[in-house]
Structure formats: C-alpha cells, structure tokens
Amino acid sequence: MRVAIGSDHGGFKLKQEIIAFLVEEGVTFQDFGTHTPEACDYPDIAFAVAQAVARGEYDRGIIVCGTGIGVAIAANKVPGIRAALCHDTFSARMSREHNDANVLTLGERVIGFGLAREIVGVWLKAEFAGGRHARRVDKITAYEQEALAR
C-alpha cells in the first residue's frame, strides 16, 4: 500500500498527525506538502496528490484542509479520482466498499485527531466489494470518459 498525502495550511497539523499514524502502522507514504504552516492554496496540493494517484504512482491519497470540502471538490476534478470526505468510520468504510474511493479527505477544523486516526485506519483496510457496486462505479467512469472526449 503506497499512500500519497497532502494538506493546505488549514490541514497542516492533522496531516502531521496522520503521518505519525502511518509511520506507526508501517504504511509507505509520500508527503506532497504543504511543509510549513504558512497559508497556501488547497487546489495546488489536492491536484498534486490526486494526479499522483491517478497516474498509478500511489494506491491511495489522503488530503486534509480546514473542512475537507475544498480538497474533495478539487481532487474529484482529476480524471480517475473518486474522493470521499468522511468524518465518521461508517462513511469511511462504505466509501471503500461501495464507491471504491481512492482518495480520502478530512477537515482539521471539523474532527479531532483521535477520530481522524480511526477513520484513516478503517479506510486503509477496507476493500471494494465489487458486484453491483462495480456496475455503478463503472457508470461514473464511463461518464467521465465521455465528458473528456467531448
């Protein structure tokens, strides 16, 4: 499992906490920044992480901002990315089992570090269930491909 991780300034502290969790869990990761608490623009980081996942260089991406919303919107513009904003463990598991989410987004200003750790742990372990869910995810991918070809 190779994980690409990134945040803007609004998610910087939570990103550092998640990195500590990944180290504890022995998960291979690459930090795409930001590397200081100075203000930066969340789309820059979200696109960098999402593109690396879409290119197949990483299996999953985790992106943090203040709310998790801006980075989810940006990441979902990258073809091949299914980013899910999850602030509870049930949504985190379902985003994998039903939606095959390949990017998880989180909001530092929304949840505590303890819950964020649990969400990341659940999300990294959960697998896509396939079956009828694959048909639905395939429809999203087909729409994306048609839109790109227009």
Residue 76, marked binder: no
Tokens coding 88: 């509870």
Stretch binding ligand RB5 (CB under 6 A), from 51-59, 62-70, 120-128, 130-138: 62-70
Smallest gap from Cβ 69 to ligand RB5, in A, equals 4
DSSP state at residue 22: H
Residue 8, marked binder: yes
Residue 9, marked binder: yes
Site for ligand RB5 in 65-94 (CB under 6 A): 65-67, 69-70
Binding ligand RB5 (rule: CB under 6 A), the pick from 32, 42, 47, 58 is: 42
What span, in angstroms and rounded, lies between the C-alpha atoms of 71 and 65? 7
- For 33-55, the three-class secondary structure string (H helix, E strand, C coil) is CCCCCCCCCHHHHHHHHHHHHHC
Find the angle CA(5)-CA(35)-CA(64) to the nearest 5 degrees: 40
Decide: residue 16, CB within 10 A, 0-12 exposed, 13-18 middle, 19+ buried.
middle
What span, in angstroms and rounded, lies between the C-alpha atoms of 107 and 86? 9
Minimum CB distance to ligand RB5 smaller for 109 or for 136? 109
Minimum CB distance to ligand RB5 smaller for 5 or for 65? 65
Smallest gap from Cβ 70 to ligand RB5, in A, equals 2
Binding site for ligand RB5 (CB under 6 A): 8, 10, 42, 65-67, 69-70
Binding-site residue positions: 8-9, 66-70, 99, 109, 132, 136
